Amino acid sequence: MTKAHWILGLTAVWALAGCYHYVPAVATTSPQGTPVRAQLDTLSAFELAQFTVNNIDLVEGELVRVDAGDLVLSATWVQAITGNGYPGNGWTVRIPETNVTAFEQRRLSWWRTTIVVVGVAIGTYLGFDALGVGESSGSGGGGGQVPQ
């Protein structure tokens, strides 16, 4: 496999990472381990490791379970109303279901993925073509004799 193929492959993998979107879901019917996002009605505070984050209105993570009216999430990201975000590092957070105004599941968008992959492939091809990458140079002939 040539270097150009490796670059194209890595670019496609990178592009696929941005092809997700969130769709409305019901917490009680979502399977455990599903990537989710919860928009909160009332600003909350969560303890993550050695510090407490305040004024949180958005939590992203994986659904662990629904327990006694609380959503239990393994947080990957928490965001304050000010726009500041903090990595959740997998710490478990409990959110009362009554405090959740929107609950969404993260899903792969096949349309976005197709558009990005085709666009990246065409762009990469045109870029390599413009730079002349992959073309062989010289005729390959000649006997290697030195003129006298």
CATH architecture under which domain 22-107 falls: Roll (2.30)
Domain ranges of the chain: 1-19+109-134, 22-107
Dist CA 110 CA 117 (whole Å) = 10
Give the pLDDT of residue 25: 94
Task: Render each residue's pLDDT in the chain as its tens digit; 148 residues.
Answer: 577 666 666 666 665 566 888 999 998 889 999 999 999 999 999 888 788 899 999 999 999 999 999 999 999 999 999 999 999 999 999 999 999 999 999 998 888 788 888 888 898 888 888 888 766 555 555 555 666 6
pTM metric for this prediction: 0.67
Segment 27-56, tens digit of pLDDT? 888 999 999 999 999 999 988 878 889 999
Give the pLDDT of residue 113: 80
What SS3 state is found at 36?
Answer: strand
Beta strands in the chain (DSSP E): 20-24, 35-48, 51-67, 70-80, 85-87, 92-96, 100-108
58 within 8 A of 38, measured Cβ to Cβ: yes
